[in-house]
Amino acid sequence: MEKQFDAIWINAVMATCEQGYGLIQEAAIAVKEGTIAWLGAMNALPGKPDALADQVYDVKGYCLTPGLIDCHTHLIYAGNRASEFEMRLQGVSYEEIARRGGGIQSTVRATRQASFETLLQASLKRARALLASGVTTVEIKSGYGLDWDTELKILRVAKRIEELLPMTVCTTFLGAHTIPVEYREAPDAYVDLVCEEMIPKVAREKLASAVDVFCEKIAFNLQQTERVFKTAKQHGLAVKCHSEQLSDSGSASLAAAYQALSVDHLEHISEAGIKAIAQSGTVAVLLPGAYYFLREKAQPPVELLRQHRVPMAIATDCNPGTSPLLSLLIALNMACTLFRLTPEEALTGVTRYAAKALGLHKQGTLTLGNYADFAVWEAAHPAELAYYIGGNPLRQLVKRGKIVDSKAGA
């Protein structure tokens, strides 16, 4: 006779992340057809585990959490900027590096030149590194092409990664990342291109579910940002914003007016901006890797975000220039050490609220009916995930009810 469940995990310290940790001691979780079919205290199971499922896994008191969600990355790019990092430490200024063709433009050049296959192989390595530390869903932004062919190539590489790895990939179109060299004298003409040609194609070909803008003095101003938001909304796409990272431009309030899924960075957000995103239900995505790598001084106002009950998410911001960070677990630690989040807030920030930042339902928490994406950690308590620096306590990763092969996609 067919058993009630496909597989069941028993003896877990389970953090459902539904509200705070949502801890259940001596817990069990059962899976049927890739979704969570039962969860709770083991002694409430409707029968003996091996009568309920053919596959029974004894977690032996280890911690079981939702699969982690990295809700902000730029992991598809060619080349890297290690030589610039070295030059900066030898005392060469940003301006001089830019004059020598460095900075974001060097990544754009390399990414434009790279073949699909070269770009895929370089990016797969980074996606695998995230997977190996418990990430079952990743957001990937375009934005190192800044011309249609390359933006399209990046978004297609992202879709290919989703086919090759047991990860959900959410794609975001970030054509408005920076003004490409060829438009330096006519930035509005580039915004025309993004709004009139690129976003309609992205929507038509379903290449991304959201559109992001880098609103900053060195990138796009408020008016340009609003044009992109308006166009995205007209085409049925959600909006996100690289917001208030280096200065307070008012972009968080603007994003809130467009019901942005998230505003990201926020080192310089004002209280008015915080009130606006609290009202619109927009997630504040904090990116401690960039803060660390750039040795920023201003911290995001975490206490004010708390007071206004703004949901906070944490992400790697994996990118070659300002956050070459390949571990979401290290981002958790940094969120606690640098931004003073509690380990509970940090874990919620890479599960429940990271899902919200991507507009995803059915994942981010261990809840009946959600996708069976979860991780078993060699840890007795979930606080250990934010505690270690550079360890990887992952024991087992489950994606849609199936155990992920540790060499997946290799």
Footprint (CB under 5 A) of Zn ion, residues 311-350: 317
Tokens read off for 373? 């994406």
* Side-chain half-sphere CA neighbours of 194 within 13 A: 31
Tokens read off for 374? 């979860």
Q: How far is it, in rounded angstroms, from Cα 317 to Cα 315?
A: 6
Minimum Å gap between C-beta 174 and Zn ion is 8
Looking at the Cβ atoms of 39 and 155, the one nearer to Zn ion is 155
The answer to whether residues 316 and 331 touch, using CB atoms and an 8 Å cutoff, is yes
Q: Is 309 left (phi over 0), alpha (psi -120 to 50) or beta?
A: left
Looking at the Cβ atoms of 317 and 345, the one nearer to Zn ion is 317
Q: How far is it, in rounded angstroms, from Cα 26 to Cα 57?
A: 13
319 marked as binding residue: yes
Looking at the Cβ atoms of 253 and 323, the one nearer to Zn ion is 323
Helical ranges in 235-380 per DSSP H? 251-257, 271-280, 288-293, 302-307, 328-337, 343-349, 352-357
Q: How far is it, in rounded angstroms, from Cα 397 to Cα 410?
A: 16
Minimum Å gap between C-beta 332 and Zn ion is 18
CB neighbours of 192 closer than 8 A, spacing ≥ 6? Answer: none
Looking at the Cβ atoms of 56 and 338, the one nearer to Zn ion is 338
409 marked as binding residue: no
Q: How far is it, in rounded angstroms, from Cα 85 to Cα 62?
A: 39
Looking at the Cβ atoms of 296 and 317, the one nearer to Zn ion is 317
Minimum Å gap between C-beta 78 and Zn ion is 17
Which string of x and - marks every residue 119-138 that binds Zn ion (by CB under 5 A)?
Answer: --------------------
Looking at the Cβ atoms of 267 and 317, the one nearer to Zn ion is 317
Minimum Å gap between C-beta 72 and Zn ion is 6
Minimum Å gap between C-beta 125 and Zn ion is 19
235 marked as binding residue: no
156 marked as binding residue: no
Looking at the Cβ atoms of 120 and 325, the one nearer to Zn ion is 325
322 marked as binding residue: yes
Tokens read off for 21? 């940790």
Minimum Å gap between C-beta 97 and Zn ion is 19
Minimum Å gap between C-beta 73 and Zn ion is 8
144 marked as binding residue: yes
Chain residue at closest Cβ approach to Zn ion: 317
**195-202 contacts at long range (C-beta below 8 A, 24 or more positions apart):** 195/227, 195/228, 195/231, 197/148, 198/148, 198/151, 198/173, 199/173, 199/175, 199/228, 199/231, 199/232, 199/235, 199/237, 200/235, 201/148, 201/152, 202/155, 202/173, 202/235, 202/237
177 marked as binding residue: yes
Q: Does 216 bind Zn ion (CB under 5 A)?
A: no
Nearest CA to 239 out of 265, 216, 214, 271 is that of: 214
Burial class (CB in 10 A: 0-12, 13-18, 19+), 78: buried
Q: How far is it, in rounded angstroms, from Cα 48 to Cα 32?
A: 16
Q: How far is it, in rounded angstroms, from Cα 346 to Cα 355?
A: 13
Minimum Å gap between C-beta 31 and Zn ion is 34
353 marked as binding residue: no
In the chain, the amino acid numbered 53 is: A
268 marked as binding residue: no
Looking at the Cβ atoms of 6 and 317, the one nearer to Zn ion is 317
Number of residues that bind Zn ion (CB under 5 A): 1
Binding site for N-formimidoyl-L-glutamate, by residue number, is 144, 319, 321
Binding site for Fe(3+), by residue number, is 72, 74, 242, 317
Binding site, by residue number, is 72, 74, 81, 144, 177, 242, 245, 317, 319, 321-322
Q: Which residues here bind Zn ion, judged by CB under 5 A?
A: 317
Binding site for 4-imidazolone-5-propanoate, by residue number, is 81, 144, 177, 245, 322
Binding site for Zn(2+), by residue number, is 72, 74, 242, 317
